[in-house]
Structure 1
Amino acid sequence: MSDSPILPEDETVPRDEVVRLAAQFIEDAQKRADVLALLAFAEVLRDVPARVSEPLLGDIRYTWWGEALEEIRDRRKVRYHPLSAALAGVAERHALDMKALIDAIDPHRLQLDGRLSLRDALSVADQGQAVILVQAAKVLDATADAACLRIPARFQTLATLKVVGRLNAEEAGAEEGRHLYREARQGLKRVPSILLPLVLPAAVAADLWHGRVRGALSVRLKLLWTFATGRI
């Protein structure tokens, strides 16, 4: 294994096209880039198990990222990686809670034990992915109440874990999907418009949950409609 984890060609943005499209609703180019870096970090943590051949290697990667964030927090020289460098810039420009970001890493380690129970998947969603979104919200509006992001983010994360086969299918059936969808639909109504780009992917999470695939134009229209109306 190399000194730093391997990421895709453009390493400071998420691979997920829906997430990238949602970020296009952020008008300020610098803030958009900063948010994308944090969302890329969330994606890296979520996808570590798919990119290692054994759990020990995954644990090493999570430790690597934890130590990189500690270096950013302590204003020490940060081990180089395009994404760690980008995150250092985001932390310098915004009052991020670095401890919260560091603590968000550990829940993702649950994925290294195999297929997740619904309880463990909720830990990944609520204590991992949603925590990173709350920090991304500080980039867009440091005064906004970002707690409203957690419920839509939960549905988005669980749907993604389900589609990649990391969530126990016996605990992630149609009934649970409907429950999570209703929660996300109500929760999204409380998200202020300036923070909506962070949870717009929840608008297509129901399709992921049920294994449906939208065309590119349909995804764009759905995201636009949700951004304009605040509804999914």
Structure 2
Amino acid sequence: MTTLKTTLDIAHRNDAPDTDLDALVRRVDPDRWLASRFIADPKARADVIALYAFNYELARVASGVSNALMGEIRLTWWREAMEEIAAGQPARKHPSVEAVAAAGYPLSALAEMAEARMADLEAAPFETEAQVLAYVDATAGAVMMLAAWRLDPKTDLHAVQEAARAYGLAGLWRLKRAGVQRLPADWTQADVRRRVETARKKARAALKVLPLAAFPAAAPAALARAQTGGRELSPLETQVRLTWAVASGRI
């Protein structure tokens, strides 16, 4: 008898997952990919890239399904993949699953990232600021915290929370410009920019205690203010801003 897991495994194989995770992240998440170039240790850089690839797989579910039920099934596949590894079972045959498992990330945190993406399947946008921030903390925040932890396990993860909020809010604004409304309907561009700037100011103080090795995890937040402007940054502008951020230790 064909089980649900078998059906989803077949579906994932049919998706032809990209085995070159660095090339994948470079294509689909250029901000984080460029920031990862400042990670000196090749193994640590590869592990952070694995996390970013995993995040992409979760983030793309909602746009790749025709209905919410199928999205729930796919996200459940990812959550259960992490739970199986935590239970001592072999990693499922998917490049991102195998890579994050080998990197040693806390599997419960990865499972929670998959669960948080269930919110992407809701048709209605968030209604309150509290809902927005809870979502950002569970998605962009989790990614930034786990990347910082991988680069320096002694990192105080609270140090990157506001940086992640700035970058996550900017990301939701960019989604709105692309036609995906997740922010509260009455939030204007000025409202988003004000909240991003507030988070940036808090982050600049908090990041002073961030270990130098972990800073590339937080560097994408240096793009947040510009990304809530009226245009997309060019690759060169993005690279310059990230280089300045890493060199100065400021966002």
| TM-score calculated relative to the size of structure 2 | 0.82
Q: Does 1:226 align with 2:245?
A: yes
CA deviation string 1:108-133 (max 9, x = no partner) = 21110124314433222112331233
Structure 1 Cα separation of the partners of residues 61 and 156 of structure 2? 30
Q: Report what 2:32 is aligned to.
A: 19
1:140 Cα offset (Å): 0.9
Structure 1 Cα separation of the partners of residues 53 and 231 of structure 2? 24
Structure 1 residues 52 and 177 mapped into 2: Cα distance closer, same or farther (>3 Å)?
same
Question: Aligned to 1:190, which of 206, 210, 219?
Answer: 206
CA deviation string 1:134-190 (max 9, x = no partner) = 222222111111211111111212211221223235225313322322322331343
Letter in 2 for 1:87: V
C-alpha contact 1:185 1:231 (8 A) present in aligned 2: no
Q: Report what 1:32 is aligned to.
A: 45
Question: Aligned to 2:168, which of 151, 157, 160?
Answer: 157
Please report the RMSD computed on the Cα atoms of aligned residues, expressed in angstroms. Answer: 2.1
Q: Report what 2:5 is aligned to.
A: none
Structure 1 residues 197 and 4 mapped into 2: Cα distance closer, same or farther (>3 Å)?
same
Structure 1 Cα separation of the partners of residues 151 and 131 of structure 2? 30
Question: Aligned to 1:144, which of 155, 159, 163?
Answer: 155
Letter in 2 for 1:19: R
Q: Report what 1:207 is aligned to.
A: 226
Give unmatched runs, 5+ long, in structure 1. none
Structure 2 Cα separation of the partners of residues 195 and 7 of structure 1? 32
1:55-66 aligned at under 5 Å gives the runs: 55-66=68-79
For 1:104, what is the secondary structure of its paired residue?
helix
- Identical counterparts, % of pairs: 30
Letter in 2 for 1:50: S
Letter in 2 for 1:12: L
| TM-score calculated relative to the size of structure 1 | 0.88
1:36 Cα offset (Å): 1.0
Structure 2 Cα separation of the partners of residues 51 and 120 of structure 1? 24
CA deviation string 1:195-221 (max 9, x = no partner) = 221121111122322242222221111
Letter in 2 for 1:114: A
Structure 2 Cα separation of the partners of residues 11 and 63 of structure 1? 24
How many residues align structurally? 228
For 2:21, what is the secondary structure of its paired residue?
coil
